[in-house]
């Protein structure tokens, strides 16, 4: 039996007792558990397709086993190195350029004194997150077309060539368009965690700093930022873990054959390679998914350990 701070032995709580005490919580958790098992754990068996020449008619047990052939076909494709390069660059941009705006936006929201105005701004900033990627991509195509408002603005103000920006093969035009589209769509939704963390910062600290003559900027950098640093680190760890999974749907909707060299990521490369022919190659797509999952797990664990050593805070 474990001892509490007073030295008395606390009775060990068994699962049965905990269930009797909190059965309503378990009841609410049950649908989530069922969904997780049905849609996340049972499909894990599909990993075997990565090592098979999978055919739907033959199923998992009837398809011939081919070992690492799918991985060889994936890795030694002529365009695979370029897809890896683009995926890494886009992932790094998402984890840096795409990560900071949500924090800055949350800081600005914390400076607003009118609660009504603040809630209105927050609500409006969430809306783009619920717009389908197809619609966002269609709007963006119109804005950066040859006669689109963004293209004309950049041409008239900065002298940039008047052309369809999504068709540009120059680096890093496509990548920046993709990143800024993600910022516009996700900055409000991504700021929720930071707004909540800022709300927990003690107001006494700000009052004391204000009495000592600290400006708003100084209070943000010296009080608010250190207090929410664990939340920032947690979100950064998650972003690093997911950076290899660069937005497949948005890139697929935005790119074109002429921009494959600068826009093709591992997901889109696999999609074209596995499903672009007459017969779908499920084994190749499964091999690609397994490869990306392993890399994402390594990045997640690595960034988590690095943050624990550097700032003393980690996700797990």
Mean pLDDT across 120-135: 88
CATH architecture of the domain with range 70-311? Orthogonal Bundle (1.10)
Residue 205: half-sphere exposure toward Cβ, Cα within 13 Å = 16
Tokens for 22, please give them: 């909190």
pLDDT at 37 over 90: yes
pLDDT tier, 242 (very low <50, low <70, confident <90, very high otherwise): confident
Longest dimension (CA), the chain: 77
pLDDT at 1 over 60: no
Round the average pLDDT of the chain to a whole number and report it: 84
Which one, of 254, 269, 246, lies nearest residue 78 by Cα? 269
Residue 194: half-sphere exposure toward Cβ, Cα within 13 Å = 27
pLDDT tier, 281 (very low <50, low <70, confident <90, very high otherwise): confident
CA angle 303, 307, 310 (to 5 degrees): 135
pLDDT digits (tens, 9 = 90+) for 42-94: 888 888 988 988 888 888 888 889 888 989 888 888 888 888 888 888 888 88
pLDDT digits (tens, 9 = 90+) for 85-101: 888 888 888 888 888 99
Q: How far apart are CA 49 and CA 55, in angstroms?
A: 9
pLDDT tier, 105 (very low <50, low <70, confident <90, very high otherwise): very high
- Tokens 């800022």 -> residue: 198
Peptide bond into 159 cis (omega under 30): no
Helix (H) or strand (E) holding 247: none
pLDDT tier, 7 (very low <50, low <70, confident <90, very high otherwise): low
Query: Which is more confident, 303 or 150?
Result: 150
Mean pLDDT across 143-157: 89
Extents of the domains making up the chain: 70-311
The reported pLDDT for the residue numbered 284 is 85
Neighbours of 183 (CB within 10 A): 19
């Amino acid at each position: 039996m474990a001892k509490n701070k007073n030295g008395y032995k606390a009775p060990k709580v068994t699962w049965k007792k905990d269930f009797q005490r909190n059965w309503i919580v378990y009841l609410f958790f049950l649908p989530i558990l069922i969904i997780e098992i049905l849609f996340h754990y049972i499909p894990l068996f599909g990993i075997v397709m990565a090592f098979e020449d999978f055919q739907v008619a033959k199923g998992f047990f009837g398809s011939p086993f081919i070992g690492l052939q799918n991985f060889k076909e994936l890795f030694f494709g002529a365009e695979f190195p370029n897809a890896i390069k683009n995926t890494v660059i886009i992932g790094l941009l998402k984890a840096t350029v795409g990560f900071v705006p949500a924090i800055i936006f949350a800081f600005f929201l914390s400076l607003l004194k009118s609660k009504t105005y603040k809630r209105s701004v927050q609500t409006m900033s969430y809306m783009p997150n619920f717009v389908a990627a197809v619609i966002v991509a269609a709007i963006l195509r119109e804005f950066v077309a040859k006669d689109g408002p963004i293209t004309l603005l950049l041409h008239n103000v900065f002298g940039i060539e008047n052309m369809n920006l999504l068709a540009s093969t120059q680096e890093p035009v496509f990548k920046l368009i993709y990143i800024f589209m993600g910022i516009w769509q996700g900055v409000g939704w991504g700021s929720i965690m930071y707004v909540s963390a800022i709300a927990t910062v003690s107001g006494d600290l700000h009052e004391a700093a204000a009495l000592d003559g600290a400006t708003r900027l100084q209070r943000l950098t010296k009080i608010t930022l250190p207090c929410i640093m664990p939340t920032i680190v947690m979100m950064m760890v998650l972003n690093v873990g997911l950076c290899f999974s660069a937005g497949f749907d948005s890139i697929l909707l935005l790119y074109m054959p002429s921009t494959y060299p600068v826009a093709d990521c591992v997901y889109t490369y696999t999609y074209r390679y596995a499903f672009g022919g007459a017969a779908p190659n499920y084994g190749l797509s499964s091999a690609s998914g397994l490869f990306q999952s392993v890399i994402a797990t390594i990045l997640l664990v690595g960034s988590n350990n690095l943050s624990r050593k550097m700032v003393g805070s980690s996700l797990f």
